[in-house]
Amino acid sequence: MKTLVLGVGNPILSDDGVGIHVARALRDKHLPNVAVEELPASGLELLDVVLDYDKVVIVDAIKTNEGVPGEYYVLEEKDFERSVHGASPHGINIATALALGRRVVPGRMPKEVVFIAVEADDLVNVSEKLTDRVRSALPEIVERVLREIS
C-alpha cells in the first residue's frame, strides 16, 4: 500500500504553513513506506501529487467562525461536497481538484483521502513562525497523522 502525507500551505504566512510544519516533522521520522510531500499551492497542482497513491493524508489550515486555534478536525472528501464548484477568479479548490481527478483519471486516484484541518489563528501576517497555540498543538497533530497512517 502506497501512502502519502501531504502538507499544504504557505510556510511564510504564519499559521497557513501548519501543514508544511507537520510534513517536515514527519519527514524527520523517516517512516518506511510513507512518502511525505509539501505543497505550497493547491487546486490542480494537487492532482499531480496525489495520483497513484492508495491513501493520502492532507494536512492544511482551516479558519472557521467559532474555531479554537490549534484544534483540528478529521474530514473526508464527502465533507467538501458543498464546496465543489468553480466560479473563482483565480483558482479551483482542493475538493474540486479531487472531484475532477475522480471524473477524468479515476484509476489513478487514491482510494482514500483524509484531511486533517488545523484551526488557524493568523493567516495574514508574513512570518515563518506559527502562532503559540498552533505551535503547541503540533505534537498532537503529528501523532494524529501517525495514527491515521499506521
Partner 1 sequence: MAGPIINDTTTKTKEKKITIDPITRLEGHGKIEIFLNDQGNVENAYLQVPELRGFERFCIGRHVMELPVLTNRLCGVCPAAHHIASTKALDAVFDAKPTETAKKLRELFYMGQYTHSHIAHFYALAAADFVLGPSAPSNKRNVLGVVDAVGVPIGAEVIKHRSYGQKVQEIIGGRATHPVFGLPGGVSKQISEEERVQMEEMAKSCVEFGKFTIKLFHDVVLANKDYLNLILNQDAYYLNSYYMGMVDKDNKSNFYDGDIRVVDQTGKEVLKFKPSQYLDVIAEHVEPWTYMKMPYLKKVGWKGFVTGPDSGIYRVGPLGRINVCTGYTTPLAQKEYEVLAKTMKDLGVKGPVNHTLAFHWARVIELQYAAERMLQLVSDKSITSDDIRGPFGQPKEGVGICEAPRGTLIHHYASDKDGLCTKINMIVATTNNYAAINTSVIQAAKALIKNGEVSPGLLNKVEMAFRCYDPCNSCGTHALNGGPALEVTVKRRDGSVLTKQTNF
Binding site for partner 1 (CB under 8 A): 8-13, 16, 39-45, 47-48, 60-65, 80, 82-96, 99-101, 103-105, 115, 117, 123-127
The three cell numbers locating residue 44: 490542480
CB 140 to partner 1: min, Å: 19
CA quadruple 129, 67, 24, 38: dihedral positive or negative?
Answer: negative
Nearest to 18 by CA among 141, 146, 144: 141
Terminal C-alpha separation, the chain: 11
- From the list 78, 68, 11, the residue with the least C-alpha distance to 38 is 11
Is the Cβ of residue 4 or residue 62 nearer to partner 1 in the bound state? 62
Toward partner 1, which CB reaches closer, 117 or 145?
117
Closest to partner 1 by CB, 1 or 44: 44
CB of 3 to partner 1, least distance (A): 20
CB of 117 to partner 1, least distance (A): 6
